[in-house]
Amino acid sequence: MLSILDHPLIQHKLTHMRDKDTSTRTFRELLREITLLMGYEITRNLPLTTVPTETPLETIDAPIIAGKKLVVVPVLRAGIGMSDGLLELVPSARVGHIGVYRDPDTHLPVEYLVRLPEVTDRTFILCDPMLATGNSAVHAVDVLKKRGVPDDQIIFVALVAAPEGVEVFQKAHPQVQVYVASLDRCLNEHAYILPGLGDAGDRLFGTK
């Protein structure tokens, strides 16, 4: 289940992120801003309940988000650039971390850290800007599922995806909802997305 969030503001900001001359500071700000906009759409279907609320004039049953606090889980390290935006939108969310790096030869994910809150009855938003081979994304969802999180309580959000990665992800986790801002053309021989925006982690943190 793939949704492309093609709001003009998201697309405009993404174009500036792709520009190789965009500074680290601006790249970081734009990622946070785009994630705020994407987060607004992603959270559209969260279930509501009501609480009796006294306004200065009368008492009403007013809507609030039902259930336990959401969990935002950045896939380290570039996912942190997105979790900042999501947490601005949902400040009371819990935060987990899944640390995965890509083996440079096999392009397969190597896990080095998992820290998650108690999972029962919570919705998880996994975030990682680049859905490239799909291997890290599949791995991150595997981690949640092994702890008992059902597919319909997992949302995966990326900025840019490659068709190859989306295919791998959908084969492994067909019932997990994926949101992206752009579905790009393809992967290159180093498993970078084309046209993409380069290495999201390096551009976000100013590393090489």
Of 136, 32, 152, which Cα lies nearest the Cα of 84?
Answer: 32
Determine, following the binding rule CB under 6 A, whether residue 109 of this chain makes contact with ligand URA: no
- One symbol per residue from 187 to 206: x for binding ligand URA (CB under 6 A), - otherwise; what is it? -----xx--x--xxx-----
Q: How far is the CB of 120 from ligand URA (least distance, A)?
A: 32
Note if 84 is an active site residue. Answer: no
Catalytic residue among 43, 102, 142, 147: 102
Determine, following the binding rule CB under 6 A, whether residue 81 of this chain makes contact with ligand URA: no
Residue 192 or 205 with smaller CB distance to ligand URA: 192
Residue 87 or 197 with smaller CB distance to ligand URA: 197
Note if 59 is an active site residue. Answer: no
Q: For residues 65-87, b (16+ Cβ closer than 10 Å) or e, as one string?
A: eeeeebbbbbbbbbbbbbbbbbb
Tokens 């997105």 locate to 82
Q: How far is the CB of 90 from ligand URA (least distance, A)?
A: 25
Determine, following the binding rule CB under 6 A, whether residue 132 of this chain makes contact with ligand URA: yes
Residue 153 or 182 with smaller CB distance to ligand URA: 182
Note if 44 is an active site residue. Answer: no
Binding residues for 5-phospho-alpha-D-ribose 1-diphosphate: 77, 102, 128-136, 199
Supply the residues annotated as catalytic: 102, 106, 199, 202
Q: Which residues are annotated as a binding site for uracil?
A: 193, 198-200
Question: Which residues make up the interface to ligand URA (CB under 6 A)?
Answer: 78, 130, 132, 192-193, 196, 199-201
